[in-house]
Structure 1
Amino acid sequence: MRFTRTRTAQVTAAVLVAVPLALGALASQTHAQEAPPSPSETFGPGCSALSQKVNTAKDDVVEAAAAYPQLSQLVSAAVRARLSDTLDGRPDVTVFAPNDQAFQKRTVSELAALLSDQEQLKKVLTYHVVDRQITPGDLPEGSFTTLEGSKLTTSGSGTDFMVNGKANIVCGNIKAANATIYVIDSVLQPPS
């Protein structure tokens, strides 16, 4: 009888220890299944391929973008639209920056027409800029008013985000002195 009580006590003690441990593991698994937190550093599948000439954290946004050869067409378009001073003069902006491949998705005639019409070019480019700093934590279900005046949306989770359901963020959370840059793979069109 004494052996049975001792054995029962040992089993009861084991259960009392195992149940909280199992519940803790279950809670950890449940938490792990939730979407991972948004990144605090640069993120995205294209960051490793995005060559950078220098550290851009102390540069205004246009100069920072110019440090990335893959953003040369965007920088050229911003200069052509006379937006450099406008963008560099704002304290905290977010730029959804189309890379050169995004511009190459346009036909030659579409791109030529856009670049020759300064007002339309300015409208398209300012649609890529939000007049506040957007953090990766704002991206999962974001809706923002652009400098152009229309709404732009972001969606996704972890390190996989899209803009307007069309453009992928290929490298995000790049810091400039007055901006956060998210490199995207399509040129966005403002609503007409």
Structure 2
Amino acid sequence: MKTVASFFVLLFFVVLYGHAQISSNKQLRKNSILESTSESGYSTLLQAVKAADLEQILNEDGPFTVFAPSDKAFAKMSKNKMKVLLQPENRKELFSLLTYHMVAGNLTASKMLLAMSRGNGKASFTTVQGNKIFASMHGLDIVLTDQFGNSAKITTADFNQRNGVIHKIDAVILPEML
């Protein structure tokens, strides 16, 4: 019972925080996901987006929710694996990897928490790549887990953009085929 009460208190603060962020994020809403990614120091992610030919989609279409691995998250991967994925002949695999980190729609942290409260602490979302990703709470953190057991923690949430939202995550979630 105490866990449920704590969860709802956290949900209240996330919703309250989200409303406070709306006014402070107005200048960010002018940018697209791609523009903000290039301005925010996600150099590895930006390099991968360009190599996978996702620039136009992340600049114009949407809305999308992007679970954006930080440069530190990409550094946890084998350097050889990333080098191989960035080669032109592996564009399809890289595209699959990146769309595995995207959900159609504007999925804010408060919406994820609401879905988790309705799902007894868990929620699932279908990625653009076509597989499901599951969200759950671990302490005060939202953790994303895929069907293969790969997981990543959202370290910074709700960078609202004109064509969606970006959540910074601490790991790259790899589709099984990679």
TM-score by length of 2: 0.76
> CA distance change for structure 1 residues 32 and 105 in 2, over 3 Å: closer, same or farther?
closer
Q: Which amino acid aligns with 2:175?
A: P
TM-score by length of 1: 0.71
Query: After TM superposition, which residue ranges in structure 1, 4 or more long, deviate above 6 angstroms?
Result: none
Structure 2 Cα separation of the partners of residues 146 and 32 of structure 1: 28
Aligned counterpart, 2:24: none
Give the 3-state SS of the residue equivalent to 1:106 in structure 2.
Answer: coil
Residue 119 (structure 1) aligned to one of 75, 92, 101: 92
The correspondence of residues 1-192 of structure 1 with structure 2, limited to 5 A, is 33-35=5-7, 36-38=9-11, 39-40=14-15, 41=17, 55-69=27-41, 71-116=42-87, 117-139=90-112, 140=116, 141-156=122-137, 159-164=140-145, 166-192=151-177
Q: CA deviation at 1:157?
A: 6.6
The C-alpha deviation readout for 1:22-72, integer Å capped at 9, x for no partner, is: xxxxxxxx7994312331447xxxxxxxxxxxx422111110111211x11
Give the 3-state SS of the residue equivalent to 1:88 in structure 2.
Answer: helix
Contact 1:150–1:191 (8 Å) recurs in 2: no
> CA distance change for structure 1 residues 59 and 159 in 2, over 3 Å: closer, same or farther?
farther
Q: CA deviation at 1:166?
A: 1.7
Structure 2 Cα separation of the partners of residues 159 and 90 of structure 1: 32
Give the 3-state SS of the residue equivalent to 2:158 in structure 1.
Answer: strand
Give the 3-state SS of the residue equivalent to 1:163 in structure 2.
Answer: strand
Give the 3-state SS of the residue equivalent to 1:57 in structure 2.
Answer: helix
Contact 1:154–1:163 (8 Å) recurs in 2: yes
Structure 1 Cα separation of the partners of residues 138 and 32 of structure 2: 28
Aligned counterpart, 1:16: none
Q: Which amino acid aligns with 1:78?
A: V
> CA distance change for structure 1 residues 31 and 189 in 2, over 3 Å: closer, same or farther?
closer
> CA distance change for structure 1 residues 158 and 91 in 2, over 3 Å: closer, same or farther?
farther
Indicate the RMSD between aligned Cα atoms, in angstroms.
2.5
Contact 2:108–2:157 (8 Å) recurs in 1: no
Bigger radius of gyration: 1
Q: Percent identity?
A: 29
> CA distance change for structure 1 residues 159 and 62 in 2, over 3 Å: closer, same or farther?
farther
Q: Which runs of 5+ in 1 are unaligned?
A: 1-29, 43-54
Q: Which runs of 5+ in 2 are unaligned?
A: 19-26, 117-121
